[in-house]
Amino acid sequence: DADVTQTPRNRITKTGKRIMLECSQTKGHDRMYWYRQDPGLGLRLIYYSFDVKDINKGEISDGYSVSRQAQAKFSLSLESAIPNQTALYFCATSDNPGDYGYTFGSGTRLTVV
Amino acid sequence: QKEVEQDPGPLSVPEGAIVSLNCTYSNSAFQYFMWYRQYSRKGPELLMYTYSSGNKEDGRFTAQVDKSSKYISLFIRDSQPSDSATYLCAMMSRGGTYKYIFGTGTRLKVLA
């Protein structure tokens, strides 16, 4: 099993729909992150959580919300999807404080039509 | 100006060539420098990381950091077709404001 599992792998949804992307990890890491990746713009941070009770906005949090249900689970919601939220979404985890590398999931390709 | 700049490529080289991938940055608070490799339809995976200035070698890969020039490099020796991927640099600062920034990635193609 993968260390970081994202579901679904692919999703097509309509404008205005609510959608949730889920992430679970078996690394035992406290820190979890949601990124989106767009061509030419790279990886941009949406939200991050350093432990279950800690949620922080990243650089592009508008239009998104998150929930940290447990140490191992971190979900991202689009309350009312719009076409410019079409992107590749990645969940990642990291340890604290000595591990400077992130472990990424395989991503969710989201298309909003 | 972006905090981290990386040439998007694509960069095409013949098998066996030495590859040089680079990033420049503007924030002198960055202390940790990472390189990730991303294959198509996969998430990035950590390749190497370096703290502060200097070189670090791991097999065919060498990471180099020049903080005075705000410039980092990844060298790949004896490149293989399996090295074909997108390479992303990343940088982190600690203390004060936590910041972890990725470059946009350079697409590398190694031709057999």
Q: What is the 3-class SS of B8-57, one letter each residue?
A: CCCEEEECCCCEEEEEEECCCCCCEEEEEEECCCCCCEEEEEEECCEEEE
Question: Does pLDDT of B72 surpass 90?
Answer: yes
β-strand pairing of B19-25 with B4-6: antiparallel
B41 vs A6, which has greater pLDDT?
A6
- Hey, which residues 8-47 in chain B have their CB within 8 Å of chain A? 8, 32, 34, 36, 41-46
* Nearest residue on chain B to A107, alpha-carbon basis: B43
Local structure of residue A85 (DSSP, 8 states): G
**pLDDT number for residue A20:** 98
- A83 half-sphere exposure, CB direction, 13 A CA radius: 1
**pLDDT number for residue B96:** 60
On average, the pLDDT of chain B sits at 92
Is B34's CB within 8 Å of A41's CB?
no
Closest CA to B14 of B89, B76, B64, B63: B76
Contact A1, A21 (CB under 8 A): no
Q: Give tens-digit pLDDT for A58-105.
A: 999 999 999 999 999 999 999 999 999 999 999 999 986 555 789 999
Is A42's CB within 8 Å of B43's CB?
no
Alpha-carbon distances, residue A66 vs A32, A54, A58 (angstroms) = 11, 11, 11
